[in-house]
Amino acid sequence: MDKVVRLASEQGVVIFIKSTCCLCYAVRILFQEIGVDPLVHEVDLDPEGREMERALTRMGCTAPLPAVFVGGKLLGSTNEVMSLHLSGSLNQMLKPYQSQT
Protein backbone atom coordinates (compact mmCIF):
# COMPACT_ATOMS: atom_id res chain seq x y z
CA MET A 1 0.00 0.00 0.00
CA ASP A 2 2.95 2.32 0.61
CA LYS A 3 3.87 2.26 -3.06
CA VAL A 4 0.33 3.21 -4.11
CA VAL A 5 0.23 6.09 -1.61
CA ARG A 6 3.64 7.33 -2.74
CA LEU A 7 2.76 7.14 -6.44
CA ALA A 8 -0.66 8.74 -5.87
CA SER A 9 1.03 11.78 -4.36
CA GLU A 10 3.53 12.35 -7.17
CA GLN A 11 1.26 14.71 -9.10
CA GLY A 12 -2.08 16.48 -8.68
CA VAL A 13 -4.02 13.91 -10.71
CA VAL A 14 -2.91 10.28 -10.82
CA ILE A 15 -4.69 7.38 -12.50
CA PHE A 16 -3.84 3.71 -11.98
CA ILE A 17 -4.89 1.66 -15.01
CA LYS A 18 -4.45 -1.60 -16.86
CA SER A 19 -3.15 -1.06 -20.37
CA THR A 20 -5.81 -3.38 -21.85
CA CYS A 21 -8.83 -2.02 -19.92
CA CYS A 22 -11.38 -0.10 -22.02
CA LEU A 23 -12.88 1.67 -18.96
CA CYS A 24 -9.39 2.76 -17.92
CA TYR A 25 -8.87 4.16 -21.40
CA ALA A 26 -12.20 6.01 -21.29
CA VAL A 27 -11.38 7.64 -17.93
CA ARG A 28 -7.92 8.61 -19.15
CA ILE A 29 -9.35 10.23 -22.30
CA LEU A 30 -12.05 12.03 -20.27
CA PHE A 31 -9.39 13.71 -18.14
CA GLN A 32 -7.42 14.71 -21.22
CA GLU A 33 -10.59 16.16 -22.80
CA ILE A 34 -11.17 18.21 -19.65
CA GLY A 35 -7.66 19.59 -20.06
CA VAL A 36 -5.90 17.60 -17.36
CA ASP A 37 -2.73 15.67 -18.10
CA PRO A 38 -2.79 12.97 -15.41
CA LEU A 39 0.16 10.92 -14.32
CA VAL A 40 -0.75 7.39 -15.41
CA HIS A 41 0.57 4.18 -13.85
CA GLU A 42 -0.06 0.98 -15.80
CA VAL A 43 -0.17 -1.59 -13.01
CA ASP A 44 -0.18 -4.57 -15.36
CA LEU A 45 3.30 -3.51 -16.46
CA ASP A 46 4.55 -3.15 -12.88
CA PRO A 47 6.12 -6.20 -11.18
CA GLU A 48 4.13 -5.29 -8.04
CA GLY A 49 0.91 -4.73 -10.00
CA ARG A 50 -1.23 -7.40 -8.34
CA GLU A 51 -0.32 -6.16 -4.87
CA MET A 52 -1.07 -2.60 -6.00
CA GLU A 53 -4.55 -3.69 -7.15
CA ARG A 54 -5.19 -5.35 -3.78
CA ALA A 55 -3.99 -2.21 -2.00
CA LEU A 56 -6.37 -0.05 -4.06
CA THR A 57 -9.27 -2.31 -3.08
CA ARG A 58 -8.26 -2.09 0.60
CA MET A 59 -8.14 1.70 0.27
CA GLY A 60 -11.82 1.68 -0.72
CA CYS A 61 -11.79 1.68 -4.51
CA THR A 62 -15.01 -0.11 -5.51
CA ALA A 63 -13.34 -1.55 -8.61
CA PRO A 64 -9.57 -1.79 -8.40
CA LEU A 65 -8.99 -0.16 -11.80
CA PRO A 66 -9.13 2.49 -12.95
CA ALA A 67 -8.33 4.20 -9.67
CA VAL A 68 -8.27 7.99 -9.73
CA PHE A 69 -6.49 10.15 -7.17
CA VAL A 70 -6.86 13.93 -7.03
CA GLY A 71 -4.62 15.86 -4.68
CA GLY A 72 -3.32 12.59 -3.24
CA LYS A 73 -6.83 11.47 -2.20
CA LEU A 74 -8.75 8.58 -3.70
CA LEU A 75 -11.58 9.89 -5.87
CA GLY A 76 -12.73 6.44 -6.93
CA SER A 77 -13.14 4.31 -10.00
CA THR A 78 -15.19 4.63 -13.18
CA ASN A 79 -18.60 4.92 -11.48
CA GLU A 80 -17.52 7.72 -9.17
CA VAL A 81 -15.66 9.60 -11.91
CA MET A 82 -18.56 9.38 -14.39
CA SER A 83 -21.13 10.38 -11.75
CA LEU A 84 -19.08 13.46 -10.89
CA HIS A 85 -18.64 14.25 -14.57
CA LEU A 86 -22.36 13.98 -15.34
CA SER A 87 -23.24 16.20 -12.38
CA GLY A 88 -20.71 18.83 -13.48
CA SER A 89 -18.68 18.49 -10.30
CA LEU A 90 -15.64 16.87 -11.92
CA ASN A 91 -14.72 19.95 -13.96
CA GLN A 92 -14.82 22.14 -10.84
CA MET A 93 -12.73 19.64 -8.89
CA LEU A 94 -10.11 19.48 -11.64
CA LYS A 95 -9.87 23.22 -12.36
CA PRO A 96 -6.61 23.65 -10.41
CA TYR A 97 -5.03 20.88 -12.49
CA GLN A 98 -6.15 22.01 -15.95
CA SER A 99 -3.40 23.06 -18.33
CA GLN A 100 -3.28 26.74 -19.17
CA THR A 101 -3.30 26.55 -22.97
Residue type for position 74? L
Query: Nearest Cα to 71, choosing from 93, 99, 44, 46?
Result: 93
Residue type for position 92? Q
- How much is the pTM? 0.92
Which pLDDT belongs to residue 19? Answer: 93
> Which segment of 1-5, 35-39, 65-69 scores lowest on mean pLDDT?
1-5
Give the mean pLDDT of 30-54.
95
The full set of domains in the chain, from first to last, is: 3-97 (3.40.30.10)
Which pLDDT belongs to residue 64? Answer: 76
**Percentages helix, strand, coil for the chain, rounded to the nearest 5?**
50, 20, 30
Query: Nearest Cα to 56, choosing from 92, 90, 14?
Result: 14
Which pLDDT belongs to residue 6? Answer: 93
Give the integer Cα–Cα distance in Å for 91 and 19. Answer: 25
Residue type for position 16? F
What is the spatial order of strands in the sheet that 39-42 belongs to? 39-42, 13-17, 67-70, 73-76
> Which segment of 29-33, 40-44, 63-67 scores lowest on mean pLDDT?
63-67
Which pLDDT belongs to residue 100? Answer: 62
Give the integer Cα–Cα distance in Å for 32 and 28. Answer: 6
Q: Using one digit for the tens of pLDDT, what is the confidence trace for 46-101?
A: 999 999 999 999 998 878 799 999 999 999 999 999 999 999 999 999 999 998 65
Q: Give backbone dihedrals phi and psi of 28, rounded to 5 degrees, phi first.
A: -60, -45
